[in-house]
Amino acid sequence: MEFKHIQGKDQGKIIMYALSTCIWCKKTKRLLDNLGIAYDYVDVDLLGEAEKETAKDEMEKWNPKGSFPTLIFNDRTCVVGFDEVKIREALLHE
Amino acid sequence: MSNQEITQERIQNLWKQLKQQAEAGGYHLNPDDEFTKDLVRSLIVNQQRYGYRACPCRLAAGEKASDLDIICPCDYRDADISEYGACYCGLYVSEDVVTGEKSIRMIPERRPAPEERAARTLSAKNVHKPLAMPVWRCRVCGYLCARDGPPEVCPICKAKKERFERFM
């Protein structure tokens, strides 16, 4: 599964599972872009069937509902949804 | 994917149509037009991709039978509007959001996990009561009717027949 890397300030490992059609995912990407932070994301709806299953399995380990966006900071902290407060907190503490 | 075919005109037309339908049924589209038109565009993408307007903010299975509950308007819209002032993706909002008395925040996922959904479908099939006629419930808006089968289209919210479930 290929993640797209967005360049920026290194704030640790930030992984985001997103949907290309989801406006909340778009807002989350925009927030990270505006903060100028480096992150990696994948639009799960654009993956092939096998990769989609892998992505779902990975995501569900962190977020059993499998909802979008799911962000994982440093393989430790998971934030679900466009939750600006929690995202900023995760960036501070991670 | 034929994204280039999604013209502004097409988005505008569907937006207008959804807005009219919403207002006629007592619902409201999100007044943030830029946000809403982005969602309408995604609905068109999903229509092209899956053959139906799956919720843009959920991962569709691509199999209509598994995605029925998330075809827009989804089964969870009304409950989310009541509780959070907007449906999960933010396309439909409550009146106090339209008037600006309430603003929308992130809405948690109400759709049950896949196993729970399968269990729910099974239990619904087991409903058998001695009634003169079965009662059908529209899973989108809650409309109930007693007749041999569900109507072709919900007279209230215009959801299609396949969105009805046997209620009693």
Task: Please name the residue of chain B whose CA is at the shortest distance from the CA of residue A19.
Answer: B57
Residue A74 DSSP SS3 = coil
From A63's Cα to the closest Cα of chain B, the distance in A is 11
Number of domains in chain A: 1
| One domain for residues B84 and B130 | no
Number of domains in chain B: 2
Q: Say how far apart CA B45 and CA B49 lie, in whole Å.
A: 6
| One domain for residues B27 and B71 | yes
From B30's Cα to the closest Cα of chain A, the distance in A is 13
- Give chain A positions within 8 Å (CB) of B56: 19, 21-23
- Domain holding A42, by residue range, is 4-93
Q: Does some domain include residue B152? A: yes
CATH code of residue A45: 3.40.30.10
The minimal CB distance from B59 to the residues A24, A45, A81 is found for: A45
Say what the pTM is. Answer: 0.88
Q: Does some domain include residue B103? A: no
| One domain for residues B64 and B147 | no
- Domain holding B94, by residue range, is 3-98
Q: Does some domain include residue B135? A: yes
Q: How many CB atoms lie within 10 A of CB A26?
A: 19
Range with lowest mean pLDDT among A3-12, A22-31, B18-27: B18-27
Task: State whether ipTM is beyond 0.90.
Answer: yes
Q: Does some domain include residue B107? A: no
- At residue B1, the pLDDT reads 47
Q: Does A23 touch chain B (CB under 8 A)?
A: yes
- Residue by residue, pLDDT tens for chain B (168 residues) are 455 589 999 999 999 999 999 998 889 999 999 999 999 999 999 999 999 999 999 999 999 999 999 999 999 999 999 999 999 999 999 999 999 999 998 899 999 988 888 887 666 665 666 788 899 999 999 999 999 899 999 998 889 999 999 998
The minimal CB distance from B56 to the residues A22, A52, A67 is found for: A22
Q: Do A22 and B57 touch (CB under 8 A)?
A: yes
Q: How far is residue A60 CA from its own chain's centroid? A: 13
